[in-house]
Amino acid sequence: MEIVQNPADMYAWSKNQARAGKTVGLVPTMGFFHEGHLSLMRKAAELCDLVVVSLFVNPTQFGPNEDLEKYPRDFERDLALVRQEKVAAVFAPRPDTMYLPGYQTEVSVKELATHLCGKSRPVHFAGVATVVTKLFNVVQPDVAVFGEKDFQQLAVIRRMVKDLNIPVRIIGHPIVREADGLAMSSRNAYLDPANRRAALSLSTGLAKVRELAAEGERSVAALAKMLEKYIHSFQGTAIDYASFVHADTLELMDIVDEKTVLALAVHIDGKVRLIDNGYVLP
């Protein structure tokens, strides 16, 4: 497995593979791997000859008061995990090689980035869209695999690829969960045992909403009221948003239908912000 730091070397590697007729699948990540990341790598390996995993904690997608500095990192552990997968190369650039002095260009997806996480994280999606564009330009993948856990991110990337004629096939992959339902996340490493219990309010809240919807409740106002009360019954939870949105446009919905996704972002104990989502109807 190759470990590549320099963007120019990565580009040269990919060009060589393309010349040899190999297809490349990219899995963009910020590292600190869990089964969710590994499942994306396996999906990419099913679809392409070679898998490239990028590992880059992208500074431009963090706001000034967010967790860039303390974001969990363990490069050696990540490499050990990746070596067990069918991964041909890890691209782990240094921030100063991705953002050169004088850097001033960004990609922004206007409307989709204003909903949900965009409200509390105003710079986030421009940072994501920009770094993903850069990764696509450097790695030149045929396919890129993203998790549905970051539902809005996936919508933004799909829109961006369409709008800018980027020749990369975008594949979404289902959320991988712990045995008790908690969506896997690198940020779960921040949770102490009490906060770990509170973190279950997201997945079990989603399950409760699905239950009520299955019994026939279609009013978003009624479902939202129940959900807020339920989530706040867990100690230390504060809802950033609990929104019933259209899967494609992310616009708020009043009545639940087949396209309705419940998207959740909850602060736990003022320290950790977790997200989860899922379709309300089966």
Distance CA 109, CA 113 (A): 6
Out of 60, 140, 185, 195, the only residue in the binding site for ligand AMP (CB under 6 A) is: 185
Q: Which residue(s) pair with 245 in the sheet?
A: 252, 261
Residues in contact with ligand AMP, total (CB under 6 A)? 17
Q: Which residues is 238 bridged to in the sheet? A: 267
Q: Is residue 224 helix, strand or coil?
A: helix
Which residue, chain included where needed, has tokens 């009013």? 219
Q: Is 183 in the site for ligand AMP (CB under 6 A)?
A: yes
Known active-site residue 173: no
CB 227 within 8 A of CB 203: no
Alpha carbons 241 and 70: distance in angstroms, whole number: 24
**Least distance to ligand AMP, CB of residue 173, Å:** 6
In the set 37, 115, 124, 173, the catalytic residue is: 37
Whether 89 and 2 have beta carbons less than 8 Å apart is answered as yes
Q: Which is nearer to ligand AMP, 71 or 241 (CB)?
A: 71
All residues at 6 or more sequence positions from 23 whose CB lies less than 8 Å from its CB, including other chains: 47, 48, 49, 50, 142, 143
Which residues on neighbouring strands pair with residue 25, listed in sequence order? 51, 143
Task: Return the number of other C-beta atoms located less than 10 Å from residue 137's C-beta.
Answer: 11
**Closest approach of Cβ 63 to ligand AMP, in Å?**
15
For residue 231, the minimal CB distance to ligand AMP (Å) is: 19
Rule CB under 6 A: which of 23-82 touch ligand AMP? Answer: 29-30, 36-37, 39-40
Residue 128 binding ligand AMP, by CB under 6 A: no
Closer residue to ligand AMP in complex, CB, 108/181: 181
Stretch that binds ligand AMP, among 17-25, 100-108, 133-141, 173-181 (CB under 6 A): 173-181
Which of residues 85 and 150 has its CB atom nearest to ligand AMP in the complex?
150
Find where tokens 């087949």 sit. 258
Indicate which residues carry an active-site annotation: 37
Where on the chain is the footprint of ligand AMP (CB under 6 A)?
A: 29-30, 36-37, 39-40, 146-147, 149-150, 173, 175-176, 183-186
